[in-house]
């Protein structure tokens, strides 16, 4: 079992900041990539930012320069620092982990958190 627990969502005014955290737990040896997705009502889930077990990062064009993704491999935790938030950032944000290697020799290719609501008021 691999579980992802998210925290840090909430209500914030435009221009404000939030920091999301996601900790993966279980008999984890390594995680190749972790990322954040978001989904607004009536819209498809889309990648916001991703980071590999190294230092490679990738951002959606809409958040470049405003959001920063980072991770602590020792703690199997990924963070998303969100600055200069806009109303269009309002969505449920989901944590994802790809290629999770466990102590039992299994690989979880697509693990998801439960989601955390981020609301940027107008």
The pLDDT assigned to 1 comes to 77
Instruction: Tokens for 98, please give them.
Output: 């790809």
The pLDDT assigned to 55 comes to 79
What is the spatial distance between Cα 114 and Cα 107, in angstroms, rounded to a whole number?
20
Q: What does pLDDT average to in each consecutive run of 10 residues of the chain (122 residues)?
A: 94 98 95 97 96 92 98 95 97 97 90 97 87
Three-state DSSP class for 88? helix
Of 62, 68, 76, 65, nearest in space to 50 by CA: 68
Cβ atoms of residues 121 and 88 within 8 Å: no
The pLDDT assigned to 24 comes to 96
The pLDDT assigned to 106 comes to 87
Helix, strand, coil % over all residues of the chain, rounded to 5: 5, 60, 35
CA distances from 77 to 16, 19, 47 (A): 23, 13, 18
């Amino acid at each position: 079992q691999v579980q992802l627990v998210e925290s840090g969502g909430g209500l914030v005014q435009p221009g404000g900041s939030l920091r999301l955290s996601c900790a993966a737990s279980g008999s984890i040896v390594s995680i190749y990539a972790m990322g954040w997705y978001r989904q607004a009502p009536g819209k498809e889930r889309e990648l916001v930012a991703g980071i590999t077990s190294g230092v490679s990062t990738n951002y959606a064009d809409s958040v470049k320069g405003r959001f920063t993704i980072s991770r602590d491999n020792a703690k199997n935790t990924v963070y998303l620092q969100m600055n200069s938030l806009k109303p269009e950032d309002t969505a449920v944000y989901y944590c994802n982990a790809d290629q999770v290697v466990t102590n039992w020799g299994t690989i979880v290719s697509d693990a998801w958190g439960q989601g955390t609501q981020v609301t940027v008021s107008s």
